[in-house]
């Protein structure tokens, strides 16, 4: 096929003035290693998803109203009134997740194959920055939904920031645009999500691709062929010249097949599962929601719940910089040497450990009701076995357990929070006095109720708790499950009469 003359003439003119066409052709036909097989498609897929994000994102900005009062209703409007609007949101949401997943797979592959070594160190560093940008985009995107889950995501973020010594409050104010989550917060995150972060991502992608072109695509690692900076480039170019193939169409074909398949999967998923949220309407006065961040960030949720309280602050503040620093410094820690995974067992172990840890934490975050369920106190019923054959005072104790919202943290009959121990067999573990002390003085992560409960209330609670022996299990400690002391011997009363 031949181009009409005027077209080829104008193309030549444009190329002469800008050099764009030569550069594109250079990129298209640059030679890549012949053995660069399917391993290498993930980077391209990440890019494709980013482009989908740009297109759907721009369309969404034309419909979305970034104000605290209207953001939520504009999402509902997009879902329900705009033809295909929900599909647009679904594509944007799922493609965001897909992009993160592809990016993580891509990073894993690069790490596993030691591709970050000489001369591609800076490509890796740019990639690390891109990774952070992408995660930040995903996080700020979830805030755009401005539902109660967005509140929660922000709440976690603000709480982490708040822990910084000395500057915590100030940082928090910068992140939230004020002391609390408000309309200003949304504006701030909107600016981040649609201008600053995408801008940064585009610049970084440009840099990343430029570096990829400059240093060439790496070959599959061969055991026993370590990277030697003195000779690497020469040998690489020689090999590529001899055995390489042009990127287009030879390698690009695989990319296109893979991206095409991914695109179809994406559309399928979006059509089937629909958009994310919006969840319940955000309302700072309503605490009764059980908010949950998007899957991608669930592991943070689990980490927060699992960290021992006295190390939490330190690990939360020191952890991310250390991890990011380690990632960025990786190519400088081991810039040369073997690339094959079989010769780098330590790297493989580290990788497996990280993947397993993230996987397990995500699953934990998904299944464990870490966050208190705020309507638990009026909806979680007391098991019927714990109601039958109880004295009137014990029944009041069961009611007090609901009323004081103990079940936000404690479960009985398998229902309730998981922050504190299940109370079904508490009578076998603690004596009457110890129960009184636990409730009045708290301890561990449990608040002290001493000032908030009257002695009658404590007495009723303890009377009820001391009947919870898990179907007549024997006492585990001496003193547990002995008959309740006479009223005037009860420690609640001793305490009360000591008080002024």
For binding to another protein (CB under 8 A), which residues are involved?
Answer: 76, 79-80, 83-84, 86-87, 90, 267, 270-275, 278, 281, 285-288, 375-382, 384, 387-396, 398-400, 402-405, 449, 452-457, 459-460, 483, 487-488, 493, 496-497
The single-letter DSSP state of residue 357 is H
Q: What's the distance, CA 397 to chain centroid?
A: 40
Supply the minimum distance, in Å, between the C-beta of residue 432 and another protein.
13
Q: Residue 102 corresponds to which tokens in the numbers above?
A: 């592809």
Supply the minimum distance, in Å, between the C-beta of residue 277 and another protein.
9
When CB distances are held under 5 to 8 angstroms depending on the partner's kind, the choice from ligand HEC, another protein, none that residue 90 binds is another protein
Q: What is the contact mask toward ligand HEC in residues 413 to 432, using x (rule: CB under 6 A)?
A: ------xxx----x--xx--
Interface stretch with ligand HEC, choices 127-135, 156-164, 185-193, 384-392 (CB under 6 A): 384-392
Q: What separation in angstroms does the CA of 270 have from each of 73, 161, 416?
A: 21, 34, 34
Q: What separation in angstroms does the CA of 157 have from each of 151, 235, 293, 365?
A: 10, 48, 11, 16
Task: Check binding of 391 to ligand HEC (CB under 6 A).
Answer: yes
Q: What is the contact mask toward ligand HEC in residues 340 to 379, using x (rule: CB under 6 A)?
A: --------------------------------------x-
When CB distances are held under 5 to 8 angstroms depending on the partner's kind, the choice from another protein, ligand HEC, none that residue 41 binds is none
CB atoms < 10 A from the CB of 136, how many? 16
Q: Residue 151 corresponds to which tokens in the numbers above?
A: 């509140």
Return contacts of 267-271, CB within 8 angstroms, 24+ apart: 267/91, 269/94, 270/87, 270/90, 270/91, 270/93, 270/94, 270/95, 271/87, 271/90
Supply the minimum distance, in Å, between the C-beta of residue 145 and another protein.
12
Rg (CA), the chain: 30
* Number of residue whose CB is nearest ligand HEC: 444
Interface stretch with ligand HEC, choices 74-82, 96-104, 325-333, 399-407 (CB under 6 A): 399-407
C-beta separation of 290 from 297 below 8 A = no
When CB distances are held under 5 to 8 angstroms depending on the partner's kind, the choice from ligand HEC, another protein, none that residue 439 binds is ligand HEC
Task: Considering the complex, state which of residue 22 and residue 378 has its C-beta at the smaller distance from another protein.
Answer: 378
How large is the greatest C-alpha to C-alpha distance in the chain, in angstroms?
108
C-beta separation of 237 from 173 below 8 A = no
Residues 6+ apart with CB under 8 A from 440: 448, 449, 450, 453, 458, 492, 495
Task: Check binding of 404 to ligand HEC (CB under 6 A).
Answer: yes
Supply the minimum distance, in Å, between the C-beta of residue 187 and another protein.
24
State the Cα angle at 450 between 449 and 455, rounded to 5°: 110
Task: Check binding of 444 to ligand HEC (CB under 6 A).
Answer: yes
C-beta separation of 412 from 423 below 8 A = yes
C-beta separation of 74 from 152 below 8 A = no
* Of 330, 439, 460, 468, the one binding ligand HEC by CB under 6 A: 439
CA pair distance 200, 205, nearest whole angstrom: 8
Task: Considering the complex, state which of residue 408 and residue 455 has its C-beta at the smaller distance from ligand HEC.
Answer: 408
Residues 6+ apart with CB under 8 A from 466: 427, 432, 435, 481, 484
Site for ligand HEC in 472-491 (CB under 6 A): none
Interface stretch with ligand HEC, choices 62-70, 191-199, 341-349, 385-393 (CB under 6 A): 385-393
Supply the minimum distance, in Å, between the C-beta of residue 395 and another protein.
5
Q: Residue 46 corresponds to which tokens in the numbers above?
A: 């990440």
Residues at the contact surface with ligand HEC, assessed by CB under 6 A: 378, 390-392, 395, 399, 401-404, 406, 408-410, 419-421, 426, 429-430, 435, 438-439, 443-447, 449, 461, 465
């Amino acid at each position: 096929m031949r181009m009409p003359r005027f077209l080829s003439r104008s193309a030549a003119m444009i190329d002469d003035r800008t050099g764009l066409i030569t550069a594109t052709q250079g990129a298209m036909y640059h030679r890549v290693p012949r053995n660069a097989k399917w391993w290498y498609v993930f980077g391209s897929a990440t890019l494709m998803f980013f482009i989908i994000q740009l297109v759907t994102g721009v369309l969404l900005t034309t419909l979305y109203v970034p104000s605290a009062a209207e953001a939520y209703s504009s999402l509902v409007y997009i879902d329900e009134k705009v033809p295909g609007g929900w599909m647009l949101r679904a594509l944007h949401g799922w493609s965001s997740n897909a992009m993160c997943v592809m990016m993580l797979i891509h990073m894993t592959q690069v790490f596993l194959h030691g591709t970050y070594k000489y001369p591609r160190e800076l490509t890796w560093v740019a990639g690390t920055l891109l990774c952070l940008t992408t995660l930040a985009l995903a996080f700020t995107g979830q805030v755009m939904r401005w539902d109660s889950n967005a509140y929660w995501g922000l709440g976690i973020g603000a709480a982490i920031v708040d822990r910084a010594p000395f500057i915590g409050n100030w940082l928090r104010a910068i992140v939230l645009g004020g002391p609390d989550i408000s309309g200003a917060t949304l504006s701030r995150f909107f600016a981040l999500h649609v201008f600053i972060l995408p801008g940064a991502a585009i610049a970084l992608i440009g840099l990343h691709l430029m570096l990829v072109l400059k240093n060439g695509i790496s070959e599959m690692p061969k055991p026993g062929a370590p990277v030697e900076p003195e000779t690497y480039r020469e040998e690489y170019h020689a090999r590529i010249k001899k055995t390489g193939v042009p990127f287009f169409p030879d390698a690009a074909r695989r990319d296109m097949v893979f991206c095409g398949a991914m695109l179809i999967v994406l559309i399928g998923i979006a059509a089937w599962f629909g958009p994310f949220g919006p969840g319940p309407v955000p309302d700072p006065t309503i605490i009764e929601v059980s908010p949950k961040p998007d899957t991608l960030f669930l592991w943070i949720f689990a980490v927060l719940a699992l960290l021992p309280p006295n190390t939490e602050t330190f690990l939360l503040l020191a952890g991310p910089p250390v991890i990011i620093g380690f990632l960025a410094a990786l190519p400088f820690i081991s810039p040369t040497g073997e690339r094959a995974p079989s010769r780098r067992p330590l790297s493989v172990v580290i990788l497996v450990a990280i993947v397993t840890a993230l996987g397990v934490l995500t699953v934990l975050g998904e299944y464990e009701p870490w966050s208190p369920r705020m309507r638990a106190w009026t909806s979680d019923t007391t098991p019927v076995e714990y109601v039958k054959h109880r004295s009137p005072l014990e029944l009041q104790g069961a009611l007090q357990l609901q009323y004081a919202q103990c079940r936000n943290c404690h479960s009985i009959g398998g229902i309730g929070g998981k922050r504190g121990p299940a109370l079904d067999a508490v009578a076998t573990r603690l004596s009457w006095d110890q129960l009184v002390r636990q409730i009045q003085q708290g301890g561990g992560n449990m608040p002290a109720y001493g000032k908030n409960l009257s002695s009658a209330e404590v007495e009723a609670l303890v009377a009820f708790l001391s009947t919870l022996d898990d179907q007549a299990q024997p006492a585990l400690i001496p003193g547990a499950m002995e008959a309740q002391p006479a009223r005037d011997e009860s420690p609640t009363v001793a305490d009360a009469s000591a008080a002024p």
